[in-house]
Amino acid sequence: MIRSLKSSIDTLVNFMIVSSVIGVAISYGDMYLYHICLLLMLVFLLIRLKESHYRLNLPTHIGNLHVFFFIIFLWYSFSILWAPNTIYAFKYLFYLFCGSALSLSIIYFVTSMDRLDTLFKALSVIFIIELLIALLESFSAFRMPISRYSKWASIFGKVPQDNFEFGPVNLLLQTSPPTGFHWDTNDLALSMLLILPFFMVNKKTVTKVFGITAIITITAMASSRSVFFGLITVFLVYFFFIKKKAATIIVVLGLAFVVILGTVQLQTSENPRLNELANSFEIVALYATGQLDVDNSLKWRFELARNGIDALIKSKGLGVGAGGSVAIQEKIGGVAGRFTSMHNFWIEILVEAGILFFILFSAWYIAIIINLYKILRNIKNQLSIRATAIFLSMVSFIPAALAASSTVYFFPMWIMLGLSIAIINLNNSLIHN
């Protein structure tokens, strides 16, 4: 009975992880397929606990890195005591629970290379499907039915974006970027960035070239400035810290020349989204020198961050509590009359959880990166290749986390964290054996 139940849980865990990638693509309103899978898994776990007389048989050599997920949840739960909006606080806790459950499921499930391979194969299939859909959306009027740019979104309990009543095709192509399995285009771009390293370390040249080219194209069409800088980061780290060959440096310099030349050309593009992306460096420079006086996304993000930091100072460094960053922006009236999410993962943590927690979270995140780097440096096998890819994902996420409005409900991030710790634990287990 217990063995059969364990097998059912293992199957459900795989399906739950895949459903998290699909996300909003299979949903109605705020109810996702992932939520149903998570609920089923919790029921199965309770049954298994009862059958095993409430004994937890955790994998050996699991380490301590996973414990921080419980610390995250406990601290944010405690912060409800001073959170400015209780409803937002409980909503934020629900997001944290869903994300942490996803990461912990991966950590507890991946106890062998076979299980890691099984999970990677499942994730590869679903991410490639999303990549192909995003490419189709980039160069045609096709949109996923549940996309914010689809006129069918209301059928699924969503409010579609008013895009001039979906006028001429050329207007739709210029103003509505690809969204893939996501509601927000920045989430799609960030998701693509996180899977990019897995194409970079792929040994098949055709797969590598196709994947890298496709993801760069999707990122450009999404015009996510933060993810664009994440792309630059991942290539620089890969070529200068992992490859470390003169030939690769020449390639990087060549690519830099192409990017600069392409940027100059795109600055005059008729597509406003490409034009905005091409002018990223100029916009950053203007803001830094105080010459930027027009409304744009970068200026809004700085204003959101400033409001958040002001609230943090008033809290004497303790933080404004779970969901508090949105509440304080709403109290001010929202930036540009409509933006309330922080649009900066790191400042969101700092503002809501406080200075001490931010330091602990940063130390935990850096510890994961260091452990992954040790694996890719010290061993040369399939696990090392996986460690290299997820290491690059973790590093590229640092600048790119400024793209999404909020990453607390961004499931690919939780998958990344779960896989990172699972690979570290698996390496420790292999060393012990």
For the chain, which residues make up each domain, given as ranges? 1-57, 58-432
Question: What pLDDT does residue 59 have?
Answer: 61
Tell me, what's the pLDDT at 250? 53
For 32, phi then psi, to 5°, come to -100, 160
Q: Give the number of residues written for the chain.
A: 433
pLDDT of residue 417: 96
Average pLDDT in the chain: 79
CB 429 within 8 A of CB 122: no
SS3 call for 409:
coil
The C-alpha atoms of residue 85 and residue 73 are separated, in whole angstroms, by: 17
The model's pLDDT over 179-230, given as tens digits with 9 standing for 90+, comes to: 889 888 888 889 999 999 999 988 888 888 889 888 988 887 777 777 888 8
Residue 53's pLDDT is: 56
Per-residue pLDDT reduced to its tens digit, 364-392? 999 999 999 999 887 778 889 999 999 99
Residue 137 banded pLDDT, cuts 50, 70, 90? confident
Sign of CA dihedral 114, 116, 119, 125: negative
End-to-end Cα separation, the chain, in angstroms: 30
Q: CA 5, CA 11: separation in Å to the nearest integer?
A: 10
* Residue 191 near residue 206 (C-beta atoms within 8 A): no
The better pLDDT of the pair 355, 142 is held by 355
Output DSSP code: residue 270: S
pTM of this structure: 0.85
The residue-averaged pLDDT of 112-117 equals 89
